[in-house]
Structure 1
Amino acid sequence: MFDFFKKKAEEIPAAAAVETPRHFTNSIGMEFLYVDGGEYMMGRNPQYNEGGEVESPEHPVRLGGFWIAKYPVTQEQYFKLTRVNPSFFKNDKVEEESSRRHPVEQVSWFDAKAYVELMNRFEGKTRFYALPTEAQWEYAAKAGGNTRFSFGDSEALLDDYAIYEYSSNGRTSIVDDKLPNRLGIYGLLGNVWEWCEDDFFANYNGAPNDGSPRIGGAEGESFKVRRGGSYKTGYLCLRSSFRGYSRPDLVANDIGFRLVINGNPLR
């Protein structure tokens, strides 16, 4: 699924030997990594006795490649475009020198969408930057596997990868405080929940299988999906298939977001 294994150099034609860049930094210093497209099983893995109807049924999703932010949006990056910092964990709440590298929080889904629009305008793009779809987010989190967490199954390793209730000291931390997942993406586990594009539905019956967002319908009008758990949550919320949801106008000091790029930023 992911291009982890390469042919030996002597087997690669000369014209194909130069690999396409997989890292991009935009005009405000936001770093993105390219994720190869492919097919994966979305939803709870039946071999684990965890999750429930909300993560079911497990189903195949095939999606194209996309770029995902290496880190959640930081307070510094949010301020650069909006000239405000709504976050709770700043100034006297955390070390002021490092607070700019904490994830922005106390942003609603509407705030996150407004930031996406600002980013597109700032860089002269149209529908280029976006919130990740729920399928994109889980695909990146599973990183080519289908284990409980993006790094494997063992809760004993969580302290190395996640800012959550047992490792957070009751507050957020800098976005690169813990280890990244297998794709080099930081902060997918804990620290702050991350808004997704999708409306929330109580199960995956009728969900799209192409990685597009699930929008509309009476059931999906009131809530938006958020993923990844936070500094407040227990380990079960850090599972790759776990789904959270809130009203789109909710503001909380453990909810932030990250961006994706649905295009080619290198052109």
Structure 2
Amino acid sequence: MFDFLKKKPEIVPEIEPVIETPKNFTNSIGMEFLYIDGGEFIMGRNPQYHEGGDVESPHHPVSVRGFWISKYPVTQEQYFKLTRVNPSYFKNDKVEEASSHRHPVEQVSWFDAKAFVELLNRYEGKTRFYALPSEAQWEYAAKAGGNTRFTFGDSEALLDDYAIYEYSSNFRTGVVGEKLPNRLGIYDLLGNIWEWCEDDFFANYMGAPKDGSARIGALEGESFKVRRGGSYKTGYMCLRSSFRGYSRPDFISNEIGFRLVINGHPFS
């Protein structure tokens, strides 16, 4: 009697579990990658600091899609695993031999870095998966959601904690990861070795892409290529997040190496 007055049990709809994309990935040769969410940032010099000049101007908004970036520069061990050669100057008797494999590979040209990318893609059966970072991707990762002079803030007084550079290097590279990372958990963006980017070098940002892609405008082999981040030899001004260096793509130096990005989905 009066069954219609009885409260019927509430039917709770089933909720699909939320599966979050992992933020860490280690590939077949031991390279560790972090996923960086996409977003918009201001690329170029911050005019409030009155430094950087035309080469870092004009500052402009860039929208970057999410991507993976290696936590560390490519090491001598990783480079050797794939190529069976180690071109680096800082190995064996130049640094502590037991740890030299954890130093960044250097004395690689832009062409060498591109060859490594192609070899790694073929080794893992990928197509256009690994890449050198675009200049915008590199700066986006370095600024880590802000627009400070360095990856950690504005004051050069903290550089010894974050960078292997002229005042903390003993005139040689160091083991990757021995200094503090930036806010995103990326190591050695400042100092240790310059890092090749995909882009051709242009004297300013007039006409630069606003989607985070690499800026290519000259015949390969006839242009200068961008390098970022400074090295164990450079002063603090070269360690600023917006500082731009460049060299010919065939140039080799014990100050220059590289790190990689992944523009695909490692878990798909």
Q: Same fold (TM over 0.5)?
A: yes
The equivalent residue for 1:4 is none
The equivalent residue for 1:175 is 176
The equivalent residue for 1:67 is 68
Q: Is it true that 1:95 corresponds to 2:96 in the alignment?
A: yes
Q: Are residues 124 and 255 of structure 1, via their aligned partners in 2, closer, same or farther at CA, if it must alter by over 3 Å?
A: same
Q: Are residues 253 and 17 of structure 1, via their aligned partners in 2, closer, same or farther at CA, if it must alter by over 3 Å?
A: same
Q: Are residues 79 and 217 of structure 1, via their aligned partners in 2, closer, same or farther at CA, if it must alter by over 3 Å?
A: closer
How far apart are the structure 2 equivalents of 1:101 and 1:165?
A: 20
Question: May I ask how many residue pairs the two structures share in their alignment?
Answer: 254
How far apart are the structure 1 equivalents of 2:159 and 2:48?
A: 20
Letter aligned with residue 207 of structure 1: A
Structure with bigger gyration radius: 2
Structure 2 counterparts to residues 107-256 of structure 1, below 5 A:
107-217=108-218, 221-256=222-257
Contact 1:78–1:84 under 8 Å retained in 2: yes
How far apart are the structure 2 equivalents of 1:111 and 1:249?
A: 8
Scaled by the length of structure 1, the TM-score of the pair is 0.93
Letter aligned with residue 130 of structure 2: Y
Q: 1:58-111: CA deviations, max 9, x gaps? A: 000001000000000000000000000000000000001100000000000000
Contact 1:199–1:221 under 8 Å retained in 2: no
Q: Secondary structure at the match of 1:121?
A: helix
Contact 1:226–1:245 under 8 Å retained in 2: yes
The equivalent residue for 2:7 is none
Q: 1:159-188: CA deviations, max 9, x gaps? A: 000000000000000001100000000000
| Structure 2, gaps ≥5 residues long | 1-13
Letter aligned with residue 84 of structure 1: V
How far apart are the structure 2 equivalents of 1:237 and 1:82?
A: 31
Q: Quote the offset at 1:241 in angstroms.
A: 0.2
Q: Quote the offset at 1:152 in angstroms.
A: 0.2
Instruction: Quote the RMSD (CA, aligned, Å).
Output: 1.4
Q: Quote the offset at 1:18 in angstroms.
A: 4.1
| Structure 1, gaps ≥5 residues long | 1-12
Letter aligned with residue 56 of structure 1: S
